[in-house]
A = this chain, B = another copy of it.
Amino acid sequence: MVIMAENDAWIRLVTPDLAAPSLGDNTADVDRLVKGLKQRLGGRGVWVDFSLVKRLSRDLRAHDYCVEGAVYRDGDGWRLIDVFDGKEPKGVHGLSLDLGSSTLVLRLVDLTRGETLDEISFNNPQIEIGADILTRIHFAGREGGLVKLQTLVLDEINRKIGNLVEENGITRKSIVGMTVAGNTTMTHLFLGLDPHWICREPYIPVVNRPDTVNAREVGLEINPEAPVLVFPNVGSYFGGDLISGILASKMTEREDVSFLVDVGTNAEVVIGNRDWLMACAGAAGPALEGGVADMGMMAAPGVIDSVMIDPDTVAFTIGTIPSRDGSAATEGRGPLGICGSGLIDLVSQLFLAGMIDLRGKFVRDRCGERLTERDGIRYLIVVPAEASGTGNPLTLSQIDIDGLIRSKAAMYTILTTIAKTVSIPFEDIGRFFVAGTFGSYINPSSAINIGMIPDLPLSTYVSLGNTSLAGATMALLGVDAQKSLFHIRDQITYLELNVNQAFMNLFSAAKFLPHTDRSLFPSVKIWDGAVPAGEKIGV
């Protein structure tokens, strides 16, 4: 009986019909099992790794030849992962991993039912070596550095797998497959591959399309024979996390043209449809993620994630991220800082309310007493000390705004450049997918208001959340998804962003709110002292 419902399952649990050996049928143990599995799997080849051959006789006899075999698809055939007691079937599990440089998300999936059982998010312990990727690449070049980086992340993953195993009452042995999506450097460090040439011209990874490896070979403490599929990359600067995002967005199944954007320190942009794909990545600056602003913080309970300003009264309505149990985290105390999406909201609202001008400069008349100055730099008091959770005022400086504007201008310029390269006007874009956890918090209308993304109908914008994890989970479940994955990788044309005069001209024009060419943003209605606020925000 084939338990997995889907025909395209990567991993299957099958119960071969094995007769115990007899003088009339003295086929060897391994060959007997292979024959039985083949019968269940439509006659295709079944391979057994040597380390399994060594112990299969014992396992088969321990279960009186009544076993379930976990197999995974490999090319035209199957490979055995392990055998389990066929009399008391307990099911098998898989893991999908979003291998981020700051945050890892590990999902536990019941492969028998194809359902997510649990999910756990944790910091990448390589941060102790360096928050940015370059620092880690340089560290990898030191004596023992690569091993240290790999060990850090693997140990932490193995610990978290232990937590998942314990909390869900399963065994490590029952975890028979894993998929890993991450950027090129992260996957190299995960596999223990030297990232030395990733950051050095001409920027060559060790491998673009790693073959499936065994958990044992990587050092993952799950079933030792579990296949581990590490997502392929297009190059040093376009990794498996983004290919996973393309897969999850299903933009390659659409006839109309979509954008897929992953907003972060790097703005990674893909444009295409079912026939073609073009991608590029460019530095957008860290301002978009909020980390560099004075009061900038990672998204967390008690952090500002939305701002409304009444254009008539310039009164602020501030929203914060609730604590995990759903209660307002600021109950009893004020907000602690602002996250990236809150910052975009804030600047958008300041602009619509006329408190900053189209260059992003504070308008004294509109800001009133909120505006202060220290060491020649202007600050806007967003939350006064007495209402803040830190005891100090939460302020936004002119420098913070300038940084955000440079970042949003970079993003818009990259979008313009890639769309021009393929001669697709923005209005022909059918879907604008926003990938990544951070992106999912961004209010598209705010992003339009500041001219970060094109002024398309709001229904065009689709926030996908953690697409890296979503794509990895798809590949964990199905071979078709894996085929799409490699097809996507092979299909992408990577556009090397040439920061030339043309690019700089576009960038300069985009350094205004929303843009020097107002006709590009017809929906953005700035306060004119008469129109009620509600209509202006356009949410």
A305 within 8 A of B: no
Which residues of B have CB within 8 Å of A193? 53-54, 57
Binds B, one of A27-35, A423-431, A439-447, A460-468: A27-35
Kindly identify which residue among B196, B202, B206 contacts A30, using a CB–CB cutoff of 8 Å: B206
Q: Tell me how far the C-beta of A327 lies from the nearest C-beta in chain B, rounded to whole angstroms.
A: 48
Q: Which of chain A's residues 114-153 have a Cβ closer than 8 Å to chain B?
A: none
Which residues of B have CB within 8 Å of A26? 202-204, 235-236
CA distance A37 to B50 in the complex (A): 27
Kindly identify which residue among B47, B197, B496 contacts A57, using a CB–CB cutoff of 8 Å: B197
Q: Which of chain A's residues 357-377 have a Cβ closer than 8 Å to chain B?
A: none
CA distance A204 to B28 in the complex (A): 5
- Can you name 14 A-B residue pairings with CB atoms under 8 Å? A23-B201, A26-B202, A26-B204, A28-B205, A28-B206, A30-B206, A30-B208, A45-B75, A50-B213, A50-B217, A51-B217, A57-B197, A57-B204, A58-B194
List of 9 A-B pairs having minimum Cβ-Cβ separation, nearest first: A30-B207, A28-B208, A28-B205, A31-B208, A23-B202, A21-B204, A50-B213, A57-B206, A28-B207
Which residues of B have CB within 8 Å of A57? 193-194, 196-197, 204, 206
A480 within 8 A of B: no
Contact status of A53 and B23, CB under 8 A, knowing A58-B194, A194-B58? no
Residue of chain B at shortest CB distance from A228: B50
Judge whether B194 and A53 touch: CB under 8 Å: no
Judge whether A211 and B47 touch: CB under 8 Å: yes
Residue of chain B at shortest CB distance from A203: B26
* Interface of chain A: mostly helix, strand, loop or mixed: loop
Which residues of B have CB within 8 Å of A204? 21, 26-29, 57
A328 within 8 A of B: no
Judge whether B29 and A207 touch: CB under 8 Å: yes
CA distance A21 to B53 in the complex (A): 41
Q: Tell me how far the C-beta of A154 lies from the nearest C-beta in chain B, rounded to whole angstroms.
A: 15
Q: Can you list, as one digit per residue, whether each of A188-231 has a CB less than 8 Å from chain B (1) or not (0)? A: 00011110110001111111111101000100000000000000
Q: Which of chain A's residues 18-56 have a Cβ closer than 8 Å to chain B?
A: 21-23, 26-31, 45, 47-51, 53-54, 56
Specify which of A26, A51, A196, A197 lies most central, judged by the most chain B CB atoms within 10 Å of its CB: A26
Give A contacts to B, CB under 8 Å: 21-23, 26-31, 45, 47-51, 53-54, 56-58, 75, 191-194, 196-197, 201-211, 213, 217, 233, 235-236, 496
CA distance A12 to B450 in the complex (A): 61
CA distance A204 to B75 in the complex (A): 31
Judge whether A192 and B29 touch: CB under 8 Å: no
Residue of chain B at shortest CB distance from A45: B75
Judge whether B54 and A211 touch: CB under 8 Å: no
Judge whether B22 and A202 touch: CB under 8 Å: yes
CA distance A395 to B203 in the complex (A): 82
Residue of chain B at shortest CB distance from A53: B207
CA distance A205 to B21 in the complex (A): 10
Q: Tell me how far the C-beta of A101 lies from the nearest C-beta in chain B, rounded to whole angstroms.
A: 19
CA distance A202 to B192 in the complex (A): 47
CA distance A206 to B26 in the complex (A): 11
Which residues of B have CB within 8 Å of A58? 194
Kindly identify which residue among B27, B49, B196, B210 contacts A53, using a CB–CB cutoff of 8 Å: B210
Which residues of B have CB within 8 Å of A192? 54
Which residues of B have CB within 8 Å of A21? 197, 202, 204
Judge whether A50 and B209 touch: CB under 8 Å: no
Specify which of A56, A208, A213 lies most central, judged by the most chain B CB atoms within 10 Å of its CB: A208
Judge whether A206 and B56 touch: CB under 8 Å: yes
CA distance A58 to B23 in the complex (A): 54
Which residues of B have CB within 8 Å of A217? 50-51
CA distance A196 to B496 in the complex (A): 62
Which residues of B have CB within 8 Å of A203? 23, 26
CA distance A267 to B213 in the complex (A): 45
Which residues of B have CB within 8 Å of A194? 57-58
